[in-house]
Amino acid sequence: MDQNSALKSLGDSWAKALASFQTLGAGEGSAPSLSFAPDKLEALQKQYISEATELWNQSLHGNPAVKDRRFSAEAWQHNPMASFAAAAYLLNTRTMMALSEAADTDPKTKARIQFAVEQWAAASAPSNFLAFNADAQQKAIETKGESISKGIQNLLHDMQQGHVSMTDESLFEVGKNVATTEGKVVFENEFFQLLEYKPLTPKVYERPFLLIPPCINKFYILDLQPENSLIRYAVSQGHRTFVVSWRNPDEDLQHTTWDDYVEDVAIKAIEVTQDIGGAKQINALGFCVGGTILSNALAVLAARGEKPVASATFLTTLIDFTDTGVLDVFIDEAFVKYREGQFANGGLMKGKDMASTFSFLRPNDLVWNYVVGNYLKGETPPPFDLLYWNSDATNLPGPMYAWYLRNTYLENNLIKPGTAKVCGTTIDYRKVDIPVYIYGSREDHIVPIGGSYASTQVFPGKKRFVMGASGHIAGVINPPAAKKRCYWTGSDITFPKDAQQWIAKAKEHAGSWWPDWADWLKAHAGKQIAAPKTYGNKKYKAIENAPGRYVKERASK
């Protein structure tokens, strides 16, 4: 291929890209308005031709420089065709992203275009195809085809299990080498089991501590291994600790509502924890959607004139859904109406579908990375407890899911006093006047830092906001002993509306945020009393060993 042919090929790619964008604005009726300023298009085209010319000249004098970890293996650097394909792909990707940024349209349409381009770019990478992946080809030659054979076996295995393997799942078992903190199930109903953990200190604080994890995942993200277990850490700090273990919904729970999850899980768990602990008040923590459910429970209880929770902790939780990040691209009136119609007579939102959605929020890391490793190279992914948990999908009751979509992501009703009706009463967060500890992760792609920070504007009582490094899970699960990452603290009195203003004045600290939270929680935990020697009480007796039956139930395929 000569220079003119190469440039013509790249020019054709530009023309096709522009044409595909222009068709997004075509159509009748409800199609979004989409146009491009001529000067921006001209500048982009000139830049594209310039970079394409430079790429071709580089290829004439050696392999083009490619800075991307997908093409970092030595085999890519020694294969001229592969390195040129990778460099051309990266050029086209940069141009498509720049084109999406240049689109003149409303913000939501632009976000959707950018998301679509990112998905296209991730899926079309040369590394995803054996015909172009120099590293996979070299491995096939070195193993005399064994890697291809193993890759086919891996593909058939994953097709049978219904999802891409991110780790060797055969090496993990809930209750054996994950979720091993000692305790008992002390209450259960059709929606959840309540776990009480064995004290690790001779004395405990008089106010019991209840954790409500997200219902879209299994609770043992908070109890993976002893060394990174937030549950075990809380117990070691002297808190009599209880945890909600959600039932993995099946057809029996297909009519379950949001009200059921608030009344019969969160409020019931608070009541049982109070009773077993013999305490007028408890402390509570909600993680992600568990935090949203906890906030609703507190608002319902406040409307009833009850105040059984002395303090609340919210970890990477959305309560004000103004800033929802990339997930907003999926939500509009048509989508929510479709889900409401789908679940009007009950049904289940399948766990595998939700898992796929969350994986494609980070497609290179959570999808194509494993496609390449598992299938093209025939590798077995290494054991990793976090990824085993990530693959342990949970269903959601359809009616509950549909209510949640409309009242949170679509209409943001929870923060509008007297608008959202939960458990027979309208909720008003201005009545939830208790101390709260709010944590957000700086690189969170599910609950953006602005979304978690927005809770500082919701509650009227004393507040503490802390920002941790990393993402939705890694930022939360950051034990002190690991001596990793960092966190930021700021004023506990002044909380500007814009999160970036708070961040600009925040102070950075090395290590885990857990000790900061532990110090805060102790101040609200009351005096210390002798640790109990038995689980439960006369009314609520131990049923079975932790982690219980419910957490072991797998989502149907």
Record the tokens describing residue 229, joined without a space. Answer: 């277990």
Same domain as 228, residue 126: no
Place of tokens 């075509």: 26
Same domain as 92, residue 40: yes
- How far apart CA 374 and CA 376 sit, in angstroms, is 6
In a domain, 480, yes or no: yes
What is the reported pLDDT for 557?
A: 54
User: Is the Cβ–Cβ distance between 446 and 193 less than 8 Å?
Assistant: no
Same domain as 188, residue 130: no
What residues pair up with 488 in beta bridges, in sequence order?
Answer: 467, 508
What is the reported pLDDT for 6?
A: 46
Same domain as 129, residue 64: yes
Last residue of some domain: 142, 169, 197? 142
- How far apart CA 190 and CA 268 sit, in angstroms, is 12
How buried is 523 (Cβ within 10 angstroms: 0-12 exposed, 13-18 middle, 19+ buried)?
A: exposed
**Catalytic: which of 215, 288, 423, 486?**
288
Q: Give yes or no: 288 in active site.
A: yes
In a domain, 192, yes or no: yes
Place of tokens 């890391």: 365
Q: What is the pLDDT along the chain (557 residues), one digit of tens a residue?
A: 444 454 455 445 545 544 544 444 444 445 678 888 889 889 999 999 999 999 988 888 878 888 899 999 999 988 888 999 999 999 999 999 999 999 999 989 999 999 999 999 999 999 999 999 999 999 999 999 999 999 999 999 999 888 899 999 999 999 999 999 999 999 999 999 999 999 999 999 999 999 999 999 999 999 999 999 999 999 999 999 999 999 999 999 999 999 999 999 999 999 999 999 999 999 999 999 999 999 999 999 999 999 999 999 999 999 999 999 989 999 999 999 999 999 999 999 998 888 888 888 889 988 999 999 999 999 999 999 999 999 898 999 999 999 999 999 999 999 999 999 999 999 999 999 999 999 999 999 999 999 999 999 999 999 999 999 999 999 999 999 999 999 999 998 999 999 999 999 999 999 999 999 999 999 999 999 999 999 999 999 999 999 999 999 988 65
In a domain, 135, yes or no: yes
DSSP-derived secondary structure for 320-333: S-S--GGGGGG-SH
Q: How does strand 192-197 pair with strand 241-246?
A: antiparallel
In a domain, 338, yes or no: no
What is the reported pLDDT for 372?
A: 96
In a domain, 203, yes or no: yes
What is the reported pLDDT for 28?
A: 40
Q: Pick from 311, 328, 325, 316: which is nearest to 453 by CA?
A: 316
CATH number, domain containing residue 453: 3.40.50.1820
pTM of the model: 0.91
Last residue of some domain: 142, 159, 194? 142
How buried is 198 (Cβ within 10 angstroms: 0-12 exposed, 13-18 middle, 19+ buried)?
A: middle
User: Is the Cβ–Cβ distance between 223 and 211 less than 8 Å?
Assistant: no
What is the reported pLDDT for 7?
A: 45
Same domain as 13, residue 111: yes
Long-range contacts of 361-364 (CB under 8 A, 24+ apart): 361/326, 361/327, 361/445, 361/446, 362/445, 363/118, 363/119, 363/122, 363/123, 364/70, 364/122, 364/125
Range of the domain at 226: 183-323+419-552
- How far apart CA 296 and CA 303 sit, in angstroms, is 11
Element (H, E) at 53: helix 38-60
Same domain as 190, residue 295: yes
In a domain, 147, yes or no: no
Same domain as 539, residue 446: yes
Last residue of some domain: 92, 113, 142? 142
In a domain, 540, yes or no: yes
Same domain as 308, residue 250: yes
Element (H, E) at 530: strand 528-530
In a domain, 282, yes or no: yes
DSSP conformation class of 278: T
Place of tokens 């999850």: 261
Same domain as 113, residue 32: yes
Same domain as 455, residue 316: yes
Same domain as 204, residue 257: yes
Q: Pick from 265, 249, 261, 218: which is nearest to 348 by CA?
A: 249
What is the reported pLDDT for 34?
A: 83
- How far apart CA 185 and CA 538 sit, in angstroms, is 14
What is the reported pLDDT for 9?
A: 52
- How far apart CA 264 and CA 258 sit, in angstroms, is 10
- How far apart CA 149 and CA 140 sit, in angstroms, is 9
Split into its structural domains, the chain has a count of 2
Which residues have C-beta within 8 Å of that of residue 231, sequence separation ≥ 6? 181, 197, 211, 222, 223, 241, 243
Same domain as 435, residue 300: yes
Q: How many CB atoms lie within 10 A of CB 305?
A: 7
